[in-house]
Amino acid sequence: MLDKTKKLKKKNNEQPMINEKIKYPKVRLIDVLGSQLGICSSNEAFNIANKKGLDLVMVSDRSDPPVCRIVDYGKYKFIQEKKAKEARKKQHNASLKEVKIRYKIEEHDYKVRISQVSRFLKIGDKVKITVIFRGREIQHLNLAIELLDKMAIDLKDLAEIQQPVSRDGKNIIMILSPKKR
């Protein structure tokens, strides 16, 4: 129950204040065309917007006095949602991909893993390379460290080491992130 009310409050906070909800004594008013009409009381600004058949929308409450704009609220809201959607489209969330190998890996398998890692890095994802040990193989840590160092050298033009070689239980890991272009 509490969770629902928090979500509702969050949604209400995201929407700008409009019309009578603006309770500031003085506001800076901007016309439909973008020209400044000056500083006036919020009631006076609401009346001006009402006469034009439009809405009074608070653009910025951080400035002194707060900035309000006379616009068609439905159109304003549509444009804001469209901008947010475009911004989300251009944004790429880097996820962490994992490639698991054994320390006794053949040359062909090694090349396949290198190509997988390079493909992930080109997309923009981070890559966690895990060397897996079974049983007494853990005695050969130095071979696994050499293998990871070799991978880092082979991928140096695509990646930079985000987390150097470290031990994680019976595994040895290294995290690579794509180089900044």
Q: Are 67 and 60 in contact (CB under 8 A)?
A: yes
Q: Are 134 and 144 in contact (CB under 8 A)?
A: no
Domain ranges within the chain, ordered by starting residue: 2-90, 96-178
CA dihedral 151, 154, 159, 163 (to 10 degrees): 30
> Same CATH topology for 2-90 and 96-178?
no
Give the helix/strand (H/E) hosting 3.
helix 2-14
Determine phi and psi for 68, rounding to 5 degrees: -125, 150
- List the beta bridge partners of residue 55: 71
* Omega prior to 65 cis, within 30 of 0: yes
pLDDT tens string, the chain, 181 residues long: the values are: 444 444 444 445 567 777 778 888 888 888 888 888 888 888 888 888 888 888 888 888 888 888 888 888 888 889 888 988 888 877 766 688 999 999 899 999 999 999 999 999 998 889 999 999 998 888 888 999 999 999 999 999 989 999 999 988 889 999 999 987 6
> What is the assigned CATH class of domain 96-178?
alpha beta
Which homologous superfamily does the CATH classification assign to the domain defined by 2-90? Translation initiation factor 3 (IF-3), N-terminal domain (3.10.20.80)
